[in-house]
Amino acid sequence: MMNLNGLDAPTTWLFRDMNEELSDLIGELHARGPANPAIASVGSSTGEEVYSLIALLDEAGMTGAKVTGYEYNADLLARSQDLSLPVGSTLRSLEKEGVFLKGDDLDRLRKLLSAYFDTDLDQTTYMYPKVRDAYLVGFEKADITTAPVPESDVVVCRNLAIYSENDAKRLKAIYENLGRSVADGGILVIDNKSRAMFENVPEIRKALEKGYGPPKVSRTGSVYRRK
């Protein structure tokens, strides 16, 4: 499913591709500040990435952070805004991530899911309210192809730009709006396929080299720090 006017990322699950670079990033944020960072999930779909980020923030003791999901698709946005609905499926997360995670990494995922999410016998999953309510959590409509989101210390945009492959004009718009969303000294997190697509457009590649240091690349994504 792809909206031809804006972009949405309908396929997601709790802790999708999160156990490497984002955990390190959260620890770094905790060490250097700011005390209450603003974190944006661009293409937040039904909210699983937002709640996964909250769990990682809480694990690091960073209560009070502002975490906002930005989504173009009205149906996906409405679902994420309804806090009475489940936030995903721990079973789906284990099935999807279990393909890649082994040993200690898989054990850590199980512990995170158990610590922060309440799952009943029907696999209906909610984040514990006492955790969610310790953060400024919101979901807003936004189209990153036409405008930036409010400036944030961390901008996470994964598995969204990939829907604009072979469209250099749209890729340039996405990159420019993401860049305008990242605060000075802030962090941009994208998936590796999007990084490769950006780097294949000379104008974007030059802007990345000028505006950011070399990315930290892992299996699960690429992390850029804005200069």
Name the residue type at position 205: R
> H or E stretch including 47?
none
Q: 71 vs 97, which has greater pLDDT?
A: 71
In the predicted structure, residue 9 carries a pLDDT above the cut 60: no
pLDDT tens for 156-210 read 998 888 878 778 898 899 999 999 999 998 999 999 999 999 999 999 999 999 9
Closest CA to 23 of 68, 47, 57: 57
Residue 133 is encoded by which pair of tokens?
Answer: 């309510």
Question: How confident is residue 30, by pLDDT bands cut at 50, 70 and 90?
Answer: confident
pLDDT tens for 120-168 read 766 789 999 999 999 999 999 999 999 999 999 999 998 888 878 778 8
- Give CA–CA dist 152/136, Å, rounded: 13
pTM listed for this prediction: 0.90
Domain ranges of the chain: 21-83+132-225
- Give CA–CA dist 62/32, Å, rounded: 12
CATH number of 21-83+132-225: 3.40.50.150
Q: 12-26, 68-82, 107-121, 205-219: which range is least confident on average? A: 12-26
- Give CA–CA dist 215/32, Å, rounded: 19
Q: 31 vs 111, which has greater pLDDT?
A: 111
8 near 147, Cβ under 8 Å? no
